[in-house]
Amino acid sequence: MLTSAGKFDQAEYSGEFAGNQVGIYIEGKKKVRLEARHLMQRSDGIRVCSPVAVRASHDVTIIGIAENFSEAEFPLLSWDSNVNGSVQWSARNCTPDSDILPWMQLTGFGVDCNRVEQANSIGLIFDVKVKKLRLGPRARARYGEQSDGVNIQSQGFSGAKGRVVADTVGEAFDCFGDNTEVRVFAKRCYAYGVKLIHGASFNYIVATIHDTAGHGVVFGGSNSSKKSVSYNVVRAKVAGVGALGGFAHASAIGTDGTSALYRPEHNRTYVRTTNGGHLMQYAVFEESGSNNIYEVDGDGFAISMGEITSTAGKGNLIFRKNNSRLNACVDVEYVISSGEIIIFKKQLSRKSVDYNSESGIFIANKSGKYFIFCRINLIKSKSSEFISFYIMKNNVEISKYDAEIDEYCCSYLWVEGGATFDCREGDSISVKFYTQNAENYTIVPGPDFSFLYIEQE
């Protein structure tokens, strides 16, 4: 189908179908099947709402492609207040670049963006592919990165199930609704890969996201829906955060909405992320929210809770997997004097760390919290004195651990201790031996006797 339907100017634009035409409009129908290819007819006087719109219908099947819609404004396929139905839809090479409208939003497939009497669509199954679906430079300058592969604006139960494959778009998947189950494959997202906002709840999202400007996955706040984004489960693999631009605090997982009345809560996220040399600052950046749980394979990246405005609420939990860590031990028996740094020369395991086994100095390669634990065993001296070690940060003592020599103990003694400390990128960590007398002590080697363990939390 070649369409030039939907002519309107700024004065006529109302944001509702009542005043605007579409290419093919299906309303109040049952068991309709449409297969079509939709091409934009280029004309300076044409403004197209949607090539296809389906409203208040039952069991409709849409199979189609939309291409080259340089002035589309509404979703290229608009699906509102329908019961059941299936969609196989592709949209590509659409770059509207007008700046005369009050608002511009380009969406490959939009669900309940213009509901009938506030009724949600239910029972939808979809498979949507979009490529090069992005506002042009003039439109972006006014409206921002307002383009979505799929946008579900249901308020409350949706129950939609489907797949989104998106390449070169603002956001691959933008969800307001509840109880959706969606698989997302996203590449080159100039805003976010996946966004849950305006009270989206009880959704299950599995996403693979490569190259974004902002967060790979973001949980937003809301005032209009009067409920929080909550009880969602997201499993995501995220790479290349920050590859496409300069979003502040770009992270694999982020929360937003510090000024919103309703902030994200009770969400659970499992994320595996690598950066690939780009600009990602955090594995998780929680600006707001409470009682959220994150399980993170962060490849050493830090986690921030409420850094911008200190609004992150209570009850947020972090579980780290495969994060930056070091496990090293003393490999041979040697003599140490008071004031010397203990050298844990043999590295038993390490990941994403900078540790000098000659000097015994560990350098934090990312800002964040680090758990540091040390144990040393020594051959007992004839003197009965206190011995200690200090955990040092930037050559300043930050924690001290003591052991008293016991005349009636066996021929060895030990000191052990550890805690969690805040470190900035580039901070140095070491362990310094101390005793009250001038005698030297012999350190007992081995991973069970004298070792150092550091892990970024």
Q: What is the pLDDT of residues 158-170, one digit of tens each?
A: 899 999 999 999 9
Same domain, 226 and 166: yes
Q: Rounded to whole angstroms, how far apart are CA atoms 170 and 133? A: 8
436/59 Cα distance (integer angstroms): 84
Assess whether 179 and 316 both reside in one domain.
Answer: yes
* Distance, CA of 102 to CA of 18 (rounded, Å): 18
Residue 17 φ/ψ, nearest 5 degrees = -70, -20
Percent of the chain with pLDDT over 70: 79
State whether residue 140 is helix, strand or coil.
Answer: helix
In a shared domain, residues 272 and 388: no
pLDDT of res. 65: 92
Whether residues 342 and 259 fall in one domain: no
What does the alpha-carbon distance between residue 376 and residue 392 come to, in Å, rounded to a whole number?
Answer: 16
Domain boundary among 297, 321, 345: 321
Positions of the chain with pLDDT under 70:
1-22, 40-49, 71-74, 246, 257-258, 274-279, 298-324, 349-353, 381-385, 404-411, 438, 457
Q: How far apart are CA 389 and CA 336, in angstroms?
A: 12
Does residue 119 share a domain with residue 168?
yes
Shared domain for 410 and 378, answered yes or no, is yes
pTM above 0.85, yes or no: no
Q: In whole angstroms, what is the distance from residue 249 CA to residue 416 CA? A: 37
Q: Are residues 286 and 199 in the same domain?
A: yes
d(CA 232, CA 335): 56
Here the CATH number for the domain that contains residue 57 is 2.160.20
Distance in angstroms (rounded) separating the CA atoms of residues 452 and 174: 45
Domain that holds residue 349: 325-456
Beta pairing, strands 52-55 & 24-27: parallel
Residue 382's pLDDT is what? 56
Q: How many CB atoms lie within 10 A of CB 102?
A: 9
Is 303 found in the same domain as 173? yes
Q: 304-339: per-residue pLDDT in tens?
A: 554 433 344 555 666 655 566 788 889 999 898 889
Give the pLDDT of residue 10.
34
The answer on 313 and 181 residing in a single domain is yes
pLDDT, tens digit, 9 for 90 and up, residues 284-311: 887 778 888 888 776 545 565 544 333 4
Alpha carbon separation from 217 to 65, 205, 413 (Å, rounded): 27, 10, 50
CATH number at residue 413: 2.60.120.40
Run of H or E including 293: strand 293-297
Please tell me the total count of domains within the chain: 2
Which of 295, 321, 347 is at the close of a domain? 321
Whether 141 and 196 map to the same domain: the answer is yes
Same domain assignment for residues 313 and 262:
yes
Q: Are residues 278 and 353 in the same domain?
A: no
